[in-house]
Amino acid sequence: MVDVHKHDIIIVGGGAAGLRAAIAAVEADPQVSVALVSKVYPMRSHTVSAEGGAAAVARPDDSLEMHGYDTVKGSDFLGDQDVIEYFVEEAPKELTRLEHWGCPWSRNDDGSVATRAFGGMTTKRTWYASDKVGFHMLHSLFQHSMQFDRIVRYDERFVTQLLIEDDGIKGVSALDVRTGNIEVFQARAVILATGGGGKIFPFTTNGNIKTGDGMALAYRNGVPLKDMEFVQYHPTGLPGTGILITEATRGEGGHLINSEGERFLVAYDYGVGNKAELGPRDMISRAIIQEIEAGRGLPGTYGEYVHLDLRHLGEDKIMKRLPFVRELATTYVGVDPVTTPIPIRPVVHYMMGGVDTDIDGLTRVGGLFAAGETACVSLNGANRLGSNSLTECLVFGARAGQRAVALSKETSDGNDVALRKRGFEEQERIDTLRGKKKGGEKLSHVRREMTTSMERGCGVYRTQDTMDATVQEIAQLKGRFADIALQDDSRVFNTEIIAALELGNMLDVAEAVANSAAYRKESRGAHTRRDHPTRDDQNYLHHTLVHFDPAGPRIDTSQVRLGHWEPEERKY
């Protein structure tokens, strides 16, 4: 028996992008029926852990032009400018709407919305709710979504396949984690809002659920992944766990200090003025690595690190603006930032690349959309500015939701019998895999070798040799993954089978990142090569597209949509 659920639209993912898309869909048409399918309870989506804030023009000294320019420049001119213009226009409307739905934005004394500085933004543009922004945003979205009966939630369902027919997508299959049963979800439009895939790296701020599932599903079904070589390192993660210490610490005046006690960023001027701690993430991450390579790092169990010093901010300010940072540092590294600097190192944070979509979030498979971190609508180009991502989830989640409604009206349902058959086949595949004791490989070994190889080949600094080696290693690991052995054959809450499915997805995403990186022979944004240290607009001012092929990935390119901001050297 395979249960079948019929809806008009399926949204995979209950983070900011998924919830915003669901609300937009039912608001666009109160008759439309939306399935919100998520592998975890929506409030456990990674969005909940965002700390620093969401960007939108709010102050009289700011303008859409400035937000647009900062984003284009931050992207190292690889962001599509029509996308960026739409984004900056919609951003203030979305954040205001979120307040009407209950998001408690912090305030200035005069009652206006408070904004903080973020790297690469020329003025204070980042709205915040203390330093628990993602929690408050996701809560507001989740609670608002509950008033709509037409949004039906299917929690703890792991989507395993996209069900595609000749004229487009007709549904998905999902594993009910509680029962071990495969279910078929039928619809005429599907939005992937499955978040990023930072877990392909060893040290990351990303939650364990960020395994690139949506990217892998789209990739295996004929949708290329775009700009995958651009992986953002956040300069300030805790060594070992990778837990994020928000950029707001620097926005509020924190300093980075090397082993000699120097505020070293003062010596790195990124080209023009001296932004020091307010430089963009890619440049600060590189500066930290350079300090460590020059022998000015501090030794630690997980490699060398430097210090983030907040002591001069004083206890009052730390407790008012950064209470969560104090809690994290105290709990996870035993350091109270009021009296002691926090050890930090660059850790993988965000993927600029993702599922290739147009400005509506639509992919080249009919009816299949993507939004949020899993998509590459091409806002972030080669480097995302901190605090643009939460806003992106709202702006493009909403747009995808609205477009999916319109498109679902023009499309016909899939073939019931054929879809149910696909469900049976999928149940059989999962049953065979579950408790598959024959096989020579352990999940944990393959996963560890993948993450180590990714950091070695596609870390902060890259060279052709190291990237090529990682391309080879990932290909071999994919082969070894086919010979995996699983111990647990129970059906109920079998987390081992989920880990196996996730590892399969991560290997595809890792393949896409490594191959795209090895292709791009220039340095741009987060993609920094020692052997090609400068940007090459002549040959590489284009998006990278990587296509899945069982014989090995294929690289292709697409044009960057420029506009009135002309490419120039990126300086801060």
Ligand X SMILES: Cc1cc2nc3c(=O)[nH]c(=O)nc-3n(C[C@H](O)[C@H](O)[C@H](O)COP(=O)(O)OP(=O)(O)OC[C@H]3O[C@@H](n4cnc5c(N)ncnc54)[C@H](O)[C@@H]3O)c2cc1C
Q: Which positions are catalytic? A: 234, 250
Structure tokens at 537: 């607009």
In the complex, the smallest distance separating the C-beta of residue 129 from ligand X, rounded to whole angstroms, is 10
Q: How far apart, in whole angstroms, are the C-alpha atoms of residue 349 and residue 427?
A: 34
Measured from the CB atom, the residue of 389 and 408 that comes closer to ligand X is 389
DSSP 47: G
In the complex, the smallest distance separating the C-beta of residue 140 from ligand X, rounded to whole angstroms, is 14
User: CB-side exposure of 157: number of CA atoms within 13 Å?
Assistant: 25
What is the separation of C-alpha 439 from the centre of its chain, rounded to a whole number of angstroms? 33
Strand order across the beta sheet in which 3-6 lies: 3-6, 182-186, 168-176, 157-165
In the complex, the smallest distance separating the C-beta of residue 95 from ligand X, rounded to whole angstroms, is 11
In the complex, the smallest distance separating the C-beta of residue 259 from ligand X, rounded to whole angstroms, is 27
Measured from the CB atom, the residue of 122 and 464 that comes closer to ligand X is 122
In terms of Cα–Cα distance, which of 240, 196, 229, 243 is closest to 76? 229
The DSSP secondary structure of 50-119, one letter per residue, reads --S-EE---STT--HHHHHHHHHHHTTT-S-HHHHHHHHHHHHHHHHHHHHTT----B-TTSSBPEE--T
Phi then psi dihedrals of residue 395, to 5 deg: -65, -50
Question: Which chain residues interact with ligand X by CB under 6 A?
Answer: 12-18, 37-40, 42, 45-47, 49-54, 133-134, 157-159, 193-196, 205-206, 209-210, 213, 244, 350, 372-374, 386-390, 393
Measured from the CB atom, the residue of 119 and 297 that comes closer to ligand X is 119
In the complex, the smallest distance separating the C-beta of residue 126 from ligand X, rounded to whole angstroms, is 8
Angle at 444 between CA 204 and CA 179, to 5 degrees: 95
Phi then psi dihedrals of residue 308, to 5 deg: -110, 120
Structure tokens at 53: 């804030």
Measured from the CB atom, the residue of 194 and 357 that comes closer to ligand X is 194
CA distances from 102 to 96, 167, 184, 222, 324 (A): 10, 41, 35, 40, 21
Q: Three-state SS for 236?
A: strand
In the complex, the smallest distance separating the C-beta of residue 91 from ligand X, rounded to whole angstroms, is 11
In the complex, the smallest distance separating the C-beta of residue 465 from ligand X, rounded to whole angstroms, is 30
Q: How far apart, in whole angstroms, are the C-alpha atoms of residue 348 and residue 203?
A: 6
Q: Three-state SS for 333?
A: helix
Q: How far apart, in whole angstroms, are the C-alpha atoms of residue 423 and residue 183?
A: 7
Strand order across the beta sheet in which 189-192 lies: 151-155, 34-38, 9-12, 189-192, 368-370
